[in-house]
């Protein structure tokens, strides 16, 4: 003799509510995105620092490369980029290019010693 399986009403309501919440969350993600792409587009791409922007950091200023973590002493030929209104310096051109390709991955620390705020 087979026993019939009866699901209590409270369990059915819980399943329905959870399904609706999941569906609403999925629709929200599709409609509004995650927000990360919006932040990237507001900051724009990293760009080369102009001589005027580089001059804001005096030679001898110590900073830390956001990619390698190495200490840098600013000189006339120090690789640098401007991103999101900040001047970033690097120990080498490889780190500079790595940062330029994906600045969001390396910009958690945005104040010295990793970057210097600059005025446009």
- pLDDT tens digit sequence for 40-71: 434 678 898 888 888 888 888 888 888 888 88
Greater confidence (114 vs 93) lies with 93
pLDDT for 36 beyond 50: no
CA separation for the pair 108, 114 (Å, rounded): 9
Mean pLDDT over the full length of the chain: 75
Residues whose CB is less than 8 angstroms from the CB of residue 92 and which lie 6 or more positions away in sequence, other chains included: 68, 79
**Mean of pLDDT values over 16-37:** 64
Q: Using 50, 70 and 90 to split pLDDT, how confident is the model at 24? A: confident
pTM tops 0.85: no
């Amino acid at each position: 003799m087979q026993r019939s399986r009866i699901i209590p009403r409270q369990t059915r309501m819980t399943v329905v509510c959870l399904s609706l919440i999941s569906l609403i969350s999925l629709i929200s993600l599709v409609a509004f995105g995650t927000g990360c792409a919006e932040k990237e587009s507001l900051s724009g791409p990293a760009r080369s620092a102009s001589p005027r922007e580089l001059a804001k950091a005096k030679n001898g200023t110590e900073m830390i490369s956001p990619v390698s973590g190495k200490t840098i002493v600013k000189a006339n030929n120090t690789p640098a980029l401007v991103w999101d209104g900040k001047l970033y310096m690097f120990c080498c051109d490889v780190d500079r290019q790595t940062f330029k390709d994906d600045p969001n991955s390396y910009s958690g620390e945005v104040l010295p010693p990793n970057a210097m705020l600059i005025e446009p």
